[in-house]
Amino acid sequence: MLLYTPTMIALLAGAWSLAAAAKAVAESPNHLRERQQSYGKISPKVVIVSMFSPEAEVWYENSLNSSVGDLLANNITVRGLSPLYPHVHCNEQGEVCQLTMGEAEINAATSMAAFVFSGLFDLTRTYFLLAGIAGVNPKLGTLGSVALSKYSVQVALQYEIDAREMPINFSTGYLPYGAYAPNEYPSIIYGTEVMELSENLRDVAAELAQQAELVDSADSADYCTRYVTSSGVYAAATASPSVIKCDSATSDVYYSGTLLSEAFENTTKLWTNQSTVTYCMSAQEDSAVLEVLMRATVWGLVDFSRAIAMRTGSDFDRPPPSVGAFQHLRLLDQNGFEIAIRNLYLAGVEIVTGIVAEWDSVFYEGIIPTNYIGDIIGTLGGEPDFGPGSLFDGKGFSVEPSGETSLTKRRILTRRKGRKTGGWM
């Protein structure tokens, strides 16, 4: 494979703009496409992944003042991106790119798939920085906290009974697929329940992010003081924002309140087979993006060990004691949005510039993961350290020339009160 040096990219950019090159590739007949791709592809060192405008704007406005430069120097139209955000943006050299996917799981998965499978970019050595704001768990962080995750859990992928109709001894109306009680491991697996990222890269990213001088504000600090309790369970909420290592939940439903947040805290702990609560950020996209990056890795287009999931706290996922859930969600102003957006950039730009600065010495070759990485069914190979075990005997998914796949277990249909659901045996 041909890899480009920054100088070559700069030369290409001068002679023929990156956007024009990508457009030409997209529009050329198939027989020309392969040749053009060999010199027309942009191979970014880092791609920043935003969900909606404020998370993107903070980069456009501030990166000019960093070595990243103008992120709007190249706008590349990619088929299948969100109608609201139809371009991938790259700096002059094509070293750092950014795209906005649109919010929640469908937008995230569709946009990211359109991008990585577009064939317009060489993403084989690219680092992906998911950079979004989120609801923060006051047990582990506060407004403006910057969290870097190892696990992303699709917490609402469950049965749900309205809590007013649930059995008297249930602690929540959410019930894992195939289970008979909330604290049972799901026995029907869809494959997207849990994604595990490289812990070594997570730690390197946290070290870079720690160089940032994070901002706080008097107004948000004011709301945080409401979390003072005699037990100290929410002590993290009353501290200053900092870089923390803890996990992210993905749910289309923007849940809020103590009971749902605790239920999903339990879900995260159970599904990742951990003994402590590590759930600290509630968002709507991470698992969707990571599933796409994993599938692209299977086909050699992306390297899943280069994915970083970063979230900053813009609001608490549950109210302080003596404040109602609805009042907390909709009536009171927590004033966390602005510092979350600013810290997203401040921490994020340290990670981006850190990767670019040490490209030749460290990041080109990559940070070797020492933990299991990938999904709950072992798609990338290895044995997951959570869940019921690999469906591919630890070898990962592959397709033989005959079309046969490496799946070693059989799909079953289970019948529950007349309704059939799919699962794996």
Ligand X SMILES: *[C@@H]1O[C@H](CO)[C@@H](O)[C@H](O)[C@H]1NC(C)=O
Chain contacts with ligand X (rule: CB under 6 A): 62, 65, 72-73, 75, 167, 169-172, 181-183, 185, 259, 262-263, 266, 273, 385-388
Closest approach of ligand X to the CB of residue 300, in Å: 27
**Separation of alpha carbons 420 and 425, rounded Å:** 15
- Distance between alpha carbon 371 and the CA centroid of its chain, in Å? 18
- Return the number of other C-beta atoms located less than 10 Å from residue 408's C-beta: 12
Closest approach of ligand X to the CB of residue 304, in Å: 19
Q: Which of 84, 76, 78, 28 is nearest to 53 (CA)?
A: 84
- Distance between alpha carbon 63 and the CA centroid of its chain, in Å? 21
- Helix residue spans in 272-317 (DSSP H): 286-298
Strands 307-316 and 127-136: parallel
C-beta closer to ligand X: residue 11 or 20: 20
Helix (H) or strand (E) holding 20: helix 18-27
DSSP assignment letter at 87? E
C-beta closer to ligand X: residue 225 or 273: 273
C-beta closer to ligand X: residue 238 or 258: 258
Closest approach of ligand X to the CB of residue 296, in Å: 25
Closest approach of ligand X to the CB of residue 123, in Å: 21
Closest approach of ligand X to the CB of residue 17, in Å: 8
C-beta closer to ligand X: residue 120 or 296: 120
Q: State the DSSP string of 89-148.
A: EE-TTSSEEEEE--SHHHHHHHHHHHHHTSSSB--TT-EEEEEEEEEE-TTT--TT-EEE
Closest approach of ligand X to the CB of residue 406, in Å: 20
- Distance between alpha carbon 152 and the CA centroid of its chain, in Å? 7
C-beta closer to ligand X: residue 333 or 385: 385
Closest approach of ligand X to the CB of residue 129, in Å: 20
C-beta closer to ligand X: residue 358 or 383: 383
Q: What are the residues whose beta carbons fall under 8 Å from the beta carbon of 288, sequence distance 6 or more?
A: 105, 106, 108, 109, 112, 250
**Separation of alpha carbons 160 and 410, rounded Å:** 27
Closest approach of ligand X to the CB of residue 23, in Å: 12
Joined tokens for residue 202: 């997570």
Q: What are the residues whose beta carbons fall under 8 Å from the beta carbon of 416, sequence distance 6 or more?
A: none
Closest approach of ligand X to the CB of residue 404, in Å: 27
C-beta closer to ligand X: residue 80 or 167: 167
Closest approach of ligand X to the CB of residue 392, in Å: 15
C-beta closer to ligand X: residue 85 or 359: 85
C-beta closer to ligand X: residue 251 or 266: 266
Phi, psi of 207 (to 5 degrees): -60, -45
**Separation of alpha carbons 349 and 333, rounded Å:** 28
**Separation of alpha carbons 145 and 314, rounded Å:** 8
**Separation of alpha carbons 77 and 67, rounded Å:** 24
C-beta closer to ligand X: residue 125 or 342: 342
